[in-house]
Structure formats: C-alpha cells, structure tokens
Amino acid sequence: MKKLTASVCMLICISVAYAQKNTNYKFSKLTPEDLKAKVYSIDSNANAVILAEVGESHFVGNTKGWFSLSFKKRTRIHILNKNGYNQADIEIPLWTSGNAIEKLEELKAITYNLDNGTVTETKLEKNNVFTEKKSKNLTLKKFTLPNVKEGSIIDIEYIINSDFLQNLQPWSYQGSIPRLWSEYNVFMPEFFEYAFLSQGMQQYFINERKDNSNVFNVVDGNSTSASERFTLNAKVTHHRWVMKDMPALKEESYTSSIENYTSKIDFQLSAFRHPLKYKNIMTNWVEVATKLLDDEDFGKNLSTNNSWLSEVIKPLLEGAHTETEKAKRIFDYVRQNFTSTGYGSIYISQPLKNCLKTKSGRVSDINMLLTAMLRYADIQAEPIILSTKSNGFTYPLYPLLNRFNYVVALAETDGKTIFLDASRQNLGFGKLLPECYNGHARIISKNVPAIEMYSDSLKEKKLTVILIGNDEKGTWVGSIKQAPGYYESYRIRNKIDDKGSDEFFKELKKNIVSDISIKNEKIDSLKKVDLPVEITYDFAVNINNENIIYLNPLFGEGFQDNPFKSLERFYPVEMPYAMDNTIIATIEVPKGYEIDEIPKSLKVSLNEQKEGMFEYLASHSNNIISLRTRVQMTRANFDPEEYEGLREFFNMIVSKQKEQIVFKKKTTQP
C-alpha cells in the first residue's frame, strides 16, 4: 500500500499556484434568494453547508518586547434542517501559561432568516457568551447563535490575539459537513521559520505566495527604565491556500482516525532567523531522546540502580534459565497485578517506585516500570513511544512529542525482539493491540531508531467446524467448535470479564438465523491469555414438522453485512489485521426430508495479485452435505482507488454466505 503519510514542506519551499490567482470570495450582503436554497449539489443529503470560511494569521509586535499572533476568522453556514442545528453551537479554545495569554476579541455572530420575503438579522448578545475553565491552561468561550431555524444562515467572526508563537493556528479544509469555499492566509515574516505540515487527498484550488515588506513595532513595557521601542522592517511572505467544493468527510468502517485523512495544514515553529538572534527551536531525534532519557517524568529511573526492585524480582526469577523465561515471568507479574488508569501521554504520572507500591498507574507508568524491571534482571529493554490509530499519524522527520500518546516496552531475549504491553490484563506476552500499529514509532535509546508498525504485519486466523446429524430419536442435532483468532479472543475475554459467559452465549444465539436451542456451552483457555480461546457448544434445530426447511449452513458465522456500504470512499481502508476465516460444515439431511436445493460452488480472487480470496465449495453424497467456505485477505490496508473492487468483493461474499440450503419433506408413496 502506498503509505498516505502527511506531506511536509519547509517554509523555504516554493509554492505553486494551481488555479486562478485572483479568485476571491466576498461575504456579500445576503439576499432572499440566498436563504431559499434547500439543497446543494455537492451533497443533496447535507444537514448544513459551510458556504465560506476565511482565516488569516498575522505576526505583530507587542508591548512585551516580543511578537504575538493575530488570527482572524469569518465563517458563513447555511443550516438546512434541524439535524444541522448543532452547527450553531460554537466553542473557541483559548490558552494561558504564566504571563502568556490568548484573548478573544471583536466577536460578532449573526443569524439571518427569511421572514415574509425579507432578510432579518438576530445578533448574539455579549451576555450569551459563556466561559468554561477546562484545565489550568485551557479555557473555552462557548455560545449558541440565536433564533436558528431551518433555512437560517449564520455568520461568525472573531479575532484571537495570542502570545504563543508555537500556536500558529492550523486550518482544516474538511469536516462533518461540506465546505464550498475554505481559505487560509498566513503572513509570514522572514525572521520566523516554520515547518508546514500538510495532509489530505485533495489538491488546492489556489496555492500561492507573494512577497511584500512590513514594519513591526515592538515595545518593551517591562524595561526597568522607560519603555523601549524597536522598529523592524522585514520581508513578509503572504501564503494563500484555498480549497473549494470540499465534500463532508464521514467516518466509515475500518478507519483508524478520520483526522488522519482530513485535508488540513498545520505548523511547527522551527527557528528564529536574521535579523533576530538565530535559534534552532526544532531539534533532532537524537537530542530529543537524550533529554527524554534524562527526564524525571520519562526515563531517568531506567538508568539508576533501582535496588528497591530486588525484593519483587528475586523470587520471580528463581528457577528461570533463559532470558525469555525471565522476561515472561516479569511481564506476567506486572500484567496480572497492576491496574491501568488510562493513557494519553508518554510521560509517567508518578515515580516508578510509587507505581510499584500502589499497583496502578497510566499505561506509561506500567510499561516504564516493566522496562525498569527487565533491565534490573539484565535483560536489554527500551521504551517505545507511538501514536495509537485513534490519535492520528506522527511525522517521522520531526520530533513532535505531542503527537505521541502511548508507551510500550521492547525486550531483546535470546536473540529475539519482543514488543510488550503489560497494561492490558487480557493481552499476552509479545502482543500489542492492533490500535498500536499506526506507522512510525520510535525506540527511545541512544540512537533512537525509527520503526514502522502496520496492520499488514498482523495475521488473524479463525476456524469454525459445524457438524449436524440425526440422533437416535430422529432429532436434528449438532455441535459447533470454533477457534477464533488471537485478537478476537482478546475481545471475547474482555466481554466475558464485563458481562459474563451467559450473556456472551445469549448474544451469540441472537446472531444465529436458524431456530435452535443450545446447550453444553464451553469456552476453553479463558485465563491462558497467550493463546486463543476455543468455543464449543451443542445445539438442536427445531424443524417443527415444516414441509420446507430453509437452513443457513453457516449458522451466523459468515459475513452478515458488507462493512463497505458507501458507494465511494475518499481515504484508505484500514482493517485491523489481515484475515483468514474458514468455516467447515458437515450436514446430514434431516430424517423424512430430501435435498431440494444447495448453493453452488464459487471461487474468486479480489485482484490479479490474489490479495483477497473467497471460496465457497458445496457438495452432497449419500444424504451428507459437505461445505467449506474461506475468506482470506493477505493485506489489511487498501487505497481509495481500490475501494470499489473491495466493496464488490465483500458484496459477493455477503450474498453467497447468506444463501440457504432447502430441504423438502419426502412425499409418501401410495
């Protein structure tokens, strides 16, 4: 698969104009015709449409002896029905840190309606803007546009003045509703350098730059004497990025995070340039790793003696002869005895000694403690930082630590490299969740090597065997024995821990399309988390003396629905793993009946490379029907241009696996 990582270009890159350079959108006065529109051709089912959004960021001198950012945004949205009312609920985040602040200024919000053929305005009152303190550093300004109805058009305009140069506002060109016009302008002075981080599948309608000059006035009001004033004349580059007619980006099945594929541009401050004193802001991975390993909130404890671990580790290692056996004992101890309180940061929330004492902590606490314990046992171990799929991609070139949200351990045992996550009680030795396989990750060691972790490397194999026959009483009975793949077994263990095995089998029975009663339910290896589970149960089919019996021979074990419902897809398909699902059924014709119809055999491939294969083989002999169906996918990720073929492939699988065997009652001979 072509890796759809975000494209990155530095400030010094030369932009190319893709369309007319002089095309502009104007927020003209609304007319009755504007408000009469009911649907838009871009999406006839849209609940609301962004008619236009335009933003611009300027750098300005401030009175603190430095520079600030001024971000202005104006948005116009047409709300088409009640399901679009949520677009009138606005939240604006503002950050503070010490004396550095962000201020919301010049807020204007107006609702336009059509009343008796006339355009009316309802303005937002200042006392209807509320402040919510989310954390020590984050505040939300919240308001709802007044008098919103079906057909309303709303305008929102505001300015954010910010002391945080690292918070150059990003810009998203896509979201949950279509955008007809989306434009962002950044006026970049030559003395600041930013990395431009672009992503998405769409091309710019306009991508241009123009060089001008500007005068920056800086006042140092904190001077011990009278305020000092500085004037700086510098080149300023106006970057303009426009996209138009952008469809809504809706999350579909097999999507890691919709944010990974939203067309957007982000920025990272990288350096101060002449005429300022040169300063490199963005360091390299080796420097970042060195600082992390010396950080009390990350790796400092890994390089210390940690003699306090002796009391725990010494009894664990008694009788262990190999590195792998030692590592497994330590891993099992941590996994079984520690409770995770969540994740979201690569930094530890408490000293590792305290984590050992309380037997609880964040994922980073638990896996950093695991790393320290392995090292204490003379096993080579390092922490790995990564970003989970739901958190989005990371950028291999830039050490942007805020993009990472998860820590696991890497151990070298007996010449083998093993990934370990002891924070999940049902996750076995050497296993990571598919959520962790999200591309670029980093081993935090002296040379800080990059590793690439993709779902294509995970293989999930599942086998189901179904036997049906007639007992001595003439009842149609059977049994099912199933060996799910490892990750399905992990989900089953979690479900049973949460709801119990009775509820598990109750839900299982709901998925079986035939009228059956089940008994002798059993799940093996529930506590052996290094192994898949095994599910078995017996059943009886209730025929009820029907003249015709319709039987789905897969008993709900096949694909019931196509996971790919949309006609088209604008971003990749990301399955959690490659799959190999096989169902084998042997069915004896019920007493007093004969075969009227059985499905025909079929075998097809997804593409010429045979990266997907489906077979359905059915035959019968001497009142015995033999059936074997298999779905095999050797890849987990597929590009948008492959979507149509993938969708049709699964349409065929679902249709075929829903086919029934038909039995009819034998006629009595005269």
Kindly report the three-state secondary structure assignment for every residue of 501-567: HHHHHHHHHHCCCCCEEEEEEEEECCCCCCCCCEEEEEEEECCCCCCEEEECCCCCCCCCCCCCCCC
pLDDT surpassing 80 at residue 296: yes
Q: Residue 622: CB partners within 8 Å, gap ≥ 6?
A: none
Q: Please state, in angstroms and rounded to a whole number, the distance separating the CA atoms of residues 618 and 632.
A: 18
Q: What is the pLDDT of residue 463?
A: 97
pLDDT surpassing 80 at residue 515: no
Q: What is the pLDDT of residue 10?
A: 36
Q: What is the pLDDT of residue 372?
A: 96
Q: Where in the chain is the domain with CATH 2.60.120.1130?
A: 459-665
pLDDT surpassing 80 at residue 18: no
Per the CB < 8 A criterion, the answer to whether 160 and 103 are in contact is yes
Give the pLDDT band (50/70/90) at residue 668: low
**Averaged over 448-471, what is the pLDDT?**
95
- Per-residue pLDDT reduced to its tens digit, 219-262: 987 655 667 888 889 999 999 999 999 999 888 889 888 888 88
Hey, what amino acid is at 269?
A: L
Tokens 């010396």 identify what position? Answer: 294
C-alpha closest to that of 395 among 553, 266, 578, 221: 266
Per the CB < 8 A criterion, the answer to whether 479 and 471 are in contact is no
353: its two tokens: 């000694």
Q: What is the pLDDT of residue 136?
A: 83
Task: Calculate what percentage of the chain has a pLDDT beyond 90.
Answer: 76
Q: What is the pLDDT of residue 3?
A: 40
Hey, what amino acid is at 201?
A: M
Q: What is the pLDDT of residue 14?
A: 31
CATH dotted code for 459-665: 2.60.120.1130
C-alpha closest to that of 20 among 225, 207, 216: 207
pLDDT surpassing 50 at residue 38: yes
Range of weakest confidence among 18-27, 336-345, 369-378, 418-427: 18-27
Q: Where in the chain is the domain with CATH 2.60.40.3140?
A: 7-38+47-280
Cα 121 to the center of its chain, rounded Å: 40
> Looking at residue 41, what DSSP letter applies?
T
Q: What is the pLDDT of residue 224?
A: 59
pLDDT surpassing 80 at residue 344: yes
Per the CB < 8 A criterion, the answer to whether 464 and 454 are in contact is no
C-alpha closest to that of 628 among 602, 590, 660, 658: 602
pLDDT surpassing 70 at residue 408: yes
> Which whole-number Å values give the CA distances from 465 to 471, 539, 555, in the listed order?
19, 13, 11
Q: Residue 168: CB partners within 8 Å, gap ≥ 6?
A: 57, 69, 186, 194, 267, 269
Instruction: Tell whether the torsion through CA atoms of 445, 449, 453 and 458 is positive or negative.
Output: negative
Range of weakest confidence among 3-12, 384-393, 428-437, 570-579: 3-12
Per the CB < 8 A criterion, the answer to whether 257 and 389 are in contact is yes
Give the pLDDT band (50/70/90) at residue 669: low
Classify 7-38+47-280 by CATH class: mainly beta
**Averaged over 38-47, what is the pLDDT?**
94
Per the CB < 8 A criterion, the answer to whether 157 and 106 are in contact is yes
Strand pairing of 459-470 and 578-588? parallel
C-alpha closest to that of 445 among 290, 326, 322, 332: 290
Q: What is the pLDDT of residue 514?
A: 67
Q: Please state, in angstroms and rounded to a whole number, the distance separating the CA atoms of residues 9 and 265.
A: 11
Q: Please state, in angstroms and rounded to a whole number, the distance separating the CA atoms of residues 498 and 495.
A: 5
Query: Three-state SS across 488-515?
Result: HHHHHHHHHHHHCHHHHHHHHHHCCCCC
Per the CB < 8 A criterion, the answer to whether 209 and 142 are in contact is no
Range of weakest confidence among 217-231, 317-331, 653-667: 217-231
Give the pLDDT band (50/70/90) at residue 15: very low
**Averaged over 134-138, what is the pLDDT?**
86
Give the pLDDT band (50/70/90) at residue 20: very low
Helix (H) or strand (E) holding 290: helix 285-293
CATH dotted code for 285-453: 3.10.620.30
Q: What is the pLDDT of residue 261?
A: 87
Mean pLDDT score across all residues of the chain: 91
β-bridge mates for residue 75, sequence order: 53, 156
Per the CB < 8 A criterion, the answer to whether 10 and 195 are in contact is yes
